[in-house]
Amino acid sequence: MGNVSVTDAPSTPERQHLDVVIEPAPDGWWAARIEGIEGMGVFGQGRTPQEARRDAASALADLLYAPSRAERLLYRFRRLYANARDLLPAR
C-alpha cells in the first residue's frame, strides 16, 4: 500500500447557506420562500408553516435534481414510442 496525501483525498462538498422565510398568506395558508440562490426563486405553500417549509424544500429538490443516464434514455424511448404511435392509423 502506498501513502495517501491530502491532495489525493476527495474534495469536500460545497456548502451554501439558505434562508427559509415563512409568512402567513391572505387566504389563511402559509407561504414559504427559500432565499440565497442567485437568479432562482423557490417557493412553497401549505396549511401550516411546517407544510409550507416541506413544500418549498421539495421544490428545491426538484429544481436541483439531475436524472441518471438510464432515466434520460427511458424518457427518450417513451417520447419516440408516443410519436410513433401517433403516426399509426386509427382503428
pTM of the model: 0.59
pLDDT in tens, the chain (91 residues): 444 344 444 566 777 788 999 999 999 999 999 998 777 889 999 999 999 999 999 999 988 888 899 999 999 999 999 888 888 787 6
pLDDT of residue 43: 95
> What grid cell was written down for 17?
447557506
The C-alpha cell of 51 is what?
Answer: 407544510
Could you tell me if 31 and 43 are in contact, meaning their C-beta atoms sit under 8 angstroms apart?
yes
DSSP 33-90: EEE--TT--EEEEESSHHHHHHHHHHHHHHHH----HHHHHHHHHHHHHHHHHHHSPP
The predicted pLDDT at position 11 comes to: 61
Q: What is the pLDDT of residue 83?
A: 86
Residue 26 has a pLDDT of 94
| Cβ atoms within 10 Å of 66's Cβ, excluding its own | 6
At residue 29, the pLDDT reads: 97
Backbone torsions φ then ψ of 65, nearest 5 degrees: -70, 135
Model pLDDT, residue 16 = 78
Of the candidate CATH numbers 3.30.390.30, 3.30.160.20, 3.20.20.80, 3.20.20.140, the domain formed by 15-87 belongs to 3.30.160.20
